[in-house]
Chain A
């Protein structure tokens, strides 16, 4: 018998439509292959700056998201009690009518009665614009419970942080050190970067209590005790300073290490123009840091006793408190290993350095013939930031990078446009409410002193989430995780309508999940009304949160909508180029749904919000696509940077171009403008980059600045706590502010506040690479990969509790307990347990069978975490968050564990909610082509 003849060149598709993925927040370019007008296959777009052709499991599974039975089909009005899931389908007109009926009176009387919070959406510059025009101060997205510590610490320290702000120099680094990274953050670029490093045999050090994912391929694994990263980092700083293995030239030129600190106030000495002063090594005199020719002196002390920042650092970090031997036990890393890693950093940074022959001129006018590499790169995300000491830990990490001279040096860490961007040119928070009028400015921003806080005249919080108050002065992303509990408590005030988008607050996106369900369903005893009277929610899918809203605005899937991934928002730039992208409807919805942003255009027009109506009162933007093209944020600047100007021949700045979306589509759905070669490193100080950034509209004027090893704004808050100035913290917060607003990084132990003596084990979650928060579960392919989640225990805890794989354990925190299946993991810190996040599901949600393993064996750790810390006996309840930024301290969770008899299903179990979309089909054999 002969071999069968195969058709080796079958037709792949009728057409490829190129858009942007939204199976997670990574925003890769995708080629959507169409057959007969349907989605047949999805692959990565090779030309795209983010993913260069590759695509993760989620991205490839997009086809199963677009056909998911959990998709909402029409606007819904609640007809049963909140939480029951009983709804009736209504028209969009009726839905808008209901929303308007609630929102119009609020706006006219007190716009702050609306709390508008969006989850993981990627349109924050648009949603915040809507909220600002509505006039409420109560707007934020999910950064507060995600990684604000990382973002804020990065921006205050060096004008940018990781992920959207910057990246390792994958092409040149020789040693890559990775601290606690959720495996879904910037996921494809990190995997691609690791691949490059591995291909040339460079080293990876992974610092993480859990050896999974990226840490599994790390050449060196440091299974650190959670929450002690700051201590480990500062111990390495100690070693490096003692050995003089710091980049003195870099510190002198580009950082505030030589800047003089006023010995009385702790503020930086400045000249009459406000320029920071250094001592010029040539003249020995205090001189403005940016004076051409100045040689900032790191060693000299001002005649009046004012010392440079580096002296203060030496005094602190060279003390024995930070010696490896002093920290080893707490960190769970032997002292000799800490020293070995510090030595390796020093060796690679200084012994394996090289010069890139790129000529460049710095802001002082000096021209350099080359750029000096410090080929040590670092990256980190939530693992170090989601602790109550996260801000200072992130700061410590940046200090480590900076003393090695590796930030913006070849082989080190590189900013992505529009970063670098010093904290002082970011907006400040605005909170002035005027009935019937827009807010006085953008909600979120960076504070530089007590005068920038969002306080009312009486000193009480202006915002429902208490962001930018003395409880957490630098809460740059707001505190989404506090909104519901504060609104429920009426503290600082009551609200009327809670409006949320894509945030699963009654399930995996809240601490204290059961408590949140109660807060959303509790009624006021006197009025019989819900304590939070109205809830509007928008989601594309039948998530757990749907059941807790009164009005549902059904969103589209990502292939059915317009979006812009804007430079004004969370851009997709790479170190070598500024880039933005769009989504466009590659298929039309087959249901009565609408992109949420388009619905906001409609609703904004109905409410007559400035910015959403023309002068004659008519609707300004027909839909979000219209807004993306025609909105002008400031002259020449709009949501998209590419193909601006009437003819589409301008980039960065230019008038709106009516054909702009088509030009994006023709280009594969994105726009990229490369950074000129001479501008590719040393950007904060490089005149070529500064000029290019102005041309691109990233800056209004060149913005050279010094990295802030010493963060002066923090000292301003500290001084207020010490009794200086008009605006001072309330008494009960005074000591806390003084301690925490330390302008130099320090380490504090979050464990005692979480009752570590009784609950000695840290419980962590991380998200699997193949799932994005709760979305993966509704995906027929992805849910087979992660259909339930065991609690992973290290070998010693398995043995100590007489547990075998598949046994069940009761896990108790100061707040509650859960009973869940366990599995052994040897490559795990011995005082840590963990599980995959957001696999556990509520029965009735996501169009799954009520016996789905996600509901019967899956579980959430969220039930164990409270938004407040356990009482410590001072009569106060402190928030379970970072005292500087308010970032939710997810990873400070402490528990104890005991063996349990296997229950019928994971505990706690909640009754099923009624599915507004029914249940998915039994079997699937999905093939679009004939």
Chain B
């Protein structure tokens, strides 16, 4: 099992829009809720009400500050804050799978989802070592490796209405910053989005070929300089006297919208 399938029928994954994510952690907790109650062991929390609470999460939202390089046009560009959700990227060339000694970690042939079969997991942690993204966490209560399942128990679940057959993080995201679909199909909505917005891989140099893509933030603080916009503020008057004079003329010019 730890050999990767040569190809998968689909490449299900997420597209995360960094231009839209407001960093609210909704996806983090929805994931925690669903996956505590569903697939495999619950996601446990140690010292839950104590001095050093620490639990298992399959999705975490980081935040970064990026300071653009100064240019002659913008010598002091403002720093930007970017919220950055991160979970398993369901890599095509998933190193976490091949290192697993027991075959517990595997990549599904039908849809490319990377899963852990908890019954076979010995909790050696090697898969977490192999993952560059920090997508795997060893549950301290159960002693098995936990990771994003892409809600494999939701996306095909016939007990859910069809519209709800998406990962819980996608269903809950208030800003609509998370998209789910088949990235192996160039015509899918998610593939189109990636094409339009220049979706990117994380750590491409690691050679993992992630399925999940990130849409980069759109350019920020790029309102044109005032001289470009000046025509929209062409003065009609310099003081209130002039303004009232202008008013009279302007009112005359108003299309009398059917005033009877």
Contacts and interface: CB of A to CB of B under 8 A. Distances in A.
Are chains A and B touching directly in their complex (CB below 8 angstroms)? yes
Interface of A: 1, 3-4, 6-12, 35, 40-44, 46, 51, 53-61, 63, 69, 183, 187-188, 191-192, 194-196, 198-199, 201, 211-221, 223, 239-245, 248-249, 252, 281, 292-293, 295, 297-300, 310-311, 314-315, 318, 336-337, 339-344, 346-347, 351, 366-369, 769-770, 778, 780-785, 787, 825-827, 847-849, 851-853, 856, 919-929
A3 B221 contact: no
Contacts of B244: 299, 311, 314
A920 to B, nearest CB: 3
B24 A191 contact: yes
Given A9-B153, A212-B81, A299-B248, 19 more contacts: A1-B1, A1-B103, A43-B30, A55-B26, A57-B30, A183-B22, A188-B174, A191-B175, A241-B243, A292-B260, A295-B259, A342-B233, A780-B45, A781-B55, A848-B50, A852-B51, A923-B141, A927-B36, A928-B37
B45 A245 contact: no
B257 to A, nearest CB: 7
A10 B236 CA distance: 69
A10 B153 contact: yes
Nearest to A342: B233
Nearest to A372: B257
Given A8-B156, A780-B53, A852-B49, A55 B174 contact: yes
A298 B106 CA distance: 74
A340 B226 contact: yes
Contact of B19 (A58, A198, A315, A342): A198
Given A293-B259, A336-B225, A923 B26 contact: no
Contacts of B50: 848-849, 851-852, 920, 922
Contacts of A924: 44-45, 48, 55
A212 B23 contact: yes
Contacts of B80: 211, 216, 221, 827
Contact of A343 (B26, B47, B174, B226): B226
Contacts of B225: 336, 340
Contacts of A919: 49
B30 A60 contact: yes
A51 B225 CA distance: 38
Contacts of A40: 37
Contact of B240 (A194, A281, A311): A311
B53 A4 contact: no
A242 B217 CA distance: 36
Contacts of B133: none
A339 B235 CA distance: 12
B42 A310 contact: no
8 contacts: A55-B30, A60-B30, A61-B29, A192-B176, A245-B233, A781-B29, A781-B55, A848-B50
Closest 7 CB pairs of A and B: A920-B49, A826-B79, A191-B174, A195-B176, A343-B229, A314-B240, A244-B236
Contacts of B168: 43
A318 B159 contact: no
Contacts of A782: 29
A199 B248 CA distance: 42
A318 B175 contact: no
Contact of B237 (A318, A784, A785): A318
B85 to A, nearest CB: 12
A71 to B, nearest CB: 13
Interface of B: 1, 17, 19-26, 28-30, 32-34, 36-38, 41-42, 44-55, 57, 63, 65, 67, 78-83, 103, 106, 108-109, 115, 117, 119, 141-142, 152-153, 156-160, 163-164, 168, 171-177, 217-226, 229-230, 232-240, 243-248, 250-251, 254, 256-260
Given A56-B24, A293-B260, A216 B83 contact: yes
A351 to B, nearest CB: 7
Contacts of B177: 195
Contact of B78 (A199, A211, A249): A211
Contact of B157 (A12, A63, A213): A12
B221 to A, nearest CB: 6
A8 B17 contact: no
Given A43-B30, A318-B237, A341 B46 contact: no
Contacts of B20: 194-195, 198-199, 217
Contacts of A337: 223, 226
A920 B47 CA distance: 9
A318 B244 CA distance: 11
Contacts of A346: 232-233
B22 A213 contact: yes
A415 B159 CA distance: 39
B250 A63 contact: no
Nearest to A54: B174
B237 A211 contact: no
Given A57-B25, A60-B32, A244-B250, A847 B160 contact: no
B230 A343 contact: yes
A852 B53 CA distance: 9
A311 B224 CA distance: 32
Contacts of A223: 78
A311 B254 CA distance: 19
Given A188-B174, A194-B20, A780-B53, A12 B235 contact: no
B33 to A, nearest CB: 5
B24 A57 contact: yes
Contact of A219 (B52, B175, B220, B259): B220
Nearest to A794: B79
B240 to A, nearest CB: 4
Contacts of B108: 3
A926 B38 CA distance: 11
B79 A827 contact: yes
